[in-house]
């Protein structure tokens, strides 16, 4: 696990003893860890079902699943306070669920139904729930890091103490907006945590084969005067601890934090991609590090009763079933929505 360190001892990234070892902070309170487990199970069930619905043709378009990456979304969400802001990418289902958006509304959005989170106008890649401070899922790589800066700048100007957490993939670290955003955040000392979910694959290409440094985010941190922070993104205790430290640091006005969470997506890049280009041994090794069974085992070791976890798992299945049922029952969106909400007056008129 990686701890946030002072600049004075900044060197290479701290890879640390993943999942255990000396010098670790005490684990979070058990009720927080159980809540994190519940989030992860719900994310897994929700996305697994969304995938099945794609295969049945009930979900149209495309979708980018975060199966296997749940510990990052859950760990960070558990460390945020309700008024903190989330910005995510098109692989944003987990981050939207984590902030408390309704499963039914999300599933209906994926299915293009009236009850959708955005009434069907955004789709899978743009899940947004402003009441939950989930400020959007952005589908053009890199842009939302600069937008996250704006939310953080606003919090600073308005002195609210809120922190912005911005998630992105390893591929983002090679686009210009990443570098513009990191520099500005550092110069302005913005309360923003940038979280790179390094799942090793930039779409269909190994990130290592197109990146000048070994750790695409952490190795760039020193260029912006930031500490390199590396965390095992498949270890929910580690992500929770790193998130808590990073958010706390931001809240005290110390400026931005860049975290690289090492993880793996169980599936392909998007719906159309079976992910066959990945070596079997690599997939096998990462499946063995699946964050959910791993965290489950650790909770049992920590004294949580089996029945508590079973109840969470059963509850999640019931909730996803209900969400699918309610989404399916929702009619298509009203066609008047085509020309609604281009402008704040609710319409789309461009002439007078």
Partner 1 sequence: MAEMTYRDAVAHGIAQEMDRDPTVVLIGEDVGAAGGVFKATVGLFDRFGPDRVVDTPISEQAILGASMGAAMTGLRPIAEVMFSDFFAVCWDLVANEIAKTRYMTNGQVSLPLVIRSANGGGARFGAQHSQSVENWAMAVPGLKVVAPSTPRDVVGLLAAAVRDPDPVLFFEQKSLYPTKGDVPEGELVDELGVAAVRRHGGHATVVALAAMVPRALEAADHLAEEGVEVTVIDLRSLVPLDVTTVATSVRQTGHLVTVEENPRLCGWGAEVASIVAEECLFDLDGPIVRVTTPHVPLPAADALEDAAMPSVARIVEGVRRSLC
Binding interface with partner 1 (CB under 8 A): 85, 87, 118-119, 121-122, 126, 128-130, 135-136, 138, 140, 142-155, 157-158, 164, 176-177, 180-181, 183-184, 187, 337, 340-344, 346, 348-352
For residue 114, the minimal CB distance to partner 1 (Å) is 11
Check the CA dihedral 190-155-247-194 and report its sign. negative
For residue 155, the minimal CB distance to partner 1 (Å) is 7
Query: What is the DSSP annotation of 158-218?
Result: TT----EEEEEEGGGGGSHHHHHHHHHHHHTT-SEEEEEEE-SEETTEEGGGS-SSSSTTG
Q: Residue 18 and residue 271: Cα distance in Å, rounded? A: 31
- With respect to partner 1, which residue has the nearer C-beta, 133 or 269? 133
- With respect to partner 1, which residue has the nearer C-beta, 71 or 118? 118
Q: Residue 179 and residue 86: Cα distance in Å, rounded? A: 20
- With respect to partner 1, which residue has the nearer C-beta, 36 or 247? 247
- With respect to partner 1, which residue has the nearer C-beta, 109 or 290? 109
Q: For the chain, how long is the longest CA-to-CA vector?
A: 70
- With respect to partner 1, which residue has the nearer C-beta, 145 or 240? 145
For residue 334, the minimal CB distance to partner 1 (Å) is 11
Q: Residue 146 and residue 175: Cα distance in Å, rounded? A: 12
For residue 66, the minimal CB distance to partner 1 (Å) is 20
For residue 335, the minimal CB distance to partner 1 (Å) is 14
Q: Residue 228 and residue 213: Cα distance in Å, rounded? A: 13
- With respect to partner 1, which residue has the nearer C-beta, 146 or 208? 146
Q: Residue 212 and residue 207: Cα distance in Å, rounded? A: 10
For residue 184, the minimal CB distance to partner 1 (Å) is 4
Read off the DSSP letter of residue 348.
-
């Amino acid at each position: 696990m990686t701890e946030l360190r002072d600049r004075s001892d900044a060197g290479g990234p701290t890879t640390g003893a993943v999942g255990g070892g000396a010098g670790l902070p005490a684990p979070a309170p058990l009720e927080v860890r159980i809540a994190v487990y519940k989030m992860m199970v719900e994310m897994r069930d929700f996305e697994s079902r969304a995938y099945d619905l794609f295969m049945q043709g009930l979900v149209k378009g495309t979708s980018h699943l975060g199966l296997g990456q749940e510990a990052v979304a859950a760990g960070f969400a558990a460390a945020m306070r309700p008024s903190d802001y989330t910005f995510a990418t098109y692989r944003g289902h987990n981050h939207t669920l984590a902030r408390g958006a309704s499963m039914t509304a999300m599933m209906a959005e994926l299915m293009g139904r009236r009850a959708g989170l955005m009434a069907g106008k955004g789709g899978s890649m743009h899940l947004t729930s402003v009441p939950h401070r989930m400020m959007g899922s952005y589908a053009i790589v890199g842009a939302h890091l600069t937008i996250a800066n704006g939310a953080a700048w606003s919090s600073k100007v308005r002195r609210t103490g809120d922190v912005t957490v911005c998630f992105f993939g390893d591929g983002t670290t090679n686009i210009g907006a990443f570098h513009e955003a990191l520099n500005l955040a550092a110069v302005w000392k913005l309360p923003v945590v940038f979280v790179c979910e390094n799942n090793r694959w930039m779409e269909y290409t190994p990130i290592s084969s197109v990146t000048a440094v070994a750790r695409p985010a952490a190795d760039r941190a020193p260029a912006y005067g930031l500490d390199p922070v590396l965390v095992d993104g498949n270890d929910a205790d580690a992500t929770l601890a790193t998130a808590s430290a990073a958010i706390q640091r931001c809240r005290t006005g110390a400026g931005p934090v860049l975290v690289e969470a090492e993880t793996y997506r169980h599936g392909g890049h998007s719906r159309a991609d079976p992910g066959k280009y990945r070596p079997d041994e690599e997939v096998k090794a990462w499946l063995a590090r699946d964050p959910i069974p791993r965290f489950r085992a650790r909770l049992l070791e920590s004294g949580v009763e089996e029945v508590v976890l079973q109840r969470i798992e059963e509850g999640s299945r019931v909730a996803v079933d209900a969400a699918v049922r309610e989404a399916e029952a929702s009619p298509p969106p009203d066609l008047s929505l085509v020309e609604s909400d281009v402008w704040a007056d609710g319409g789309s008129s461009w002439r007078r």
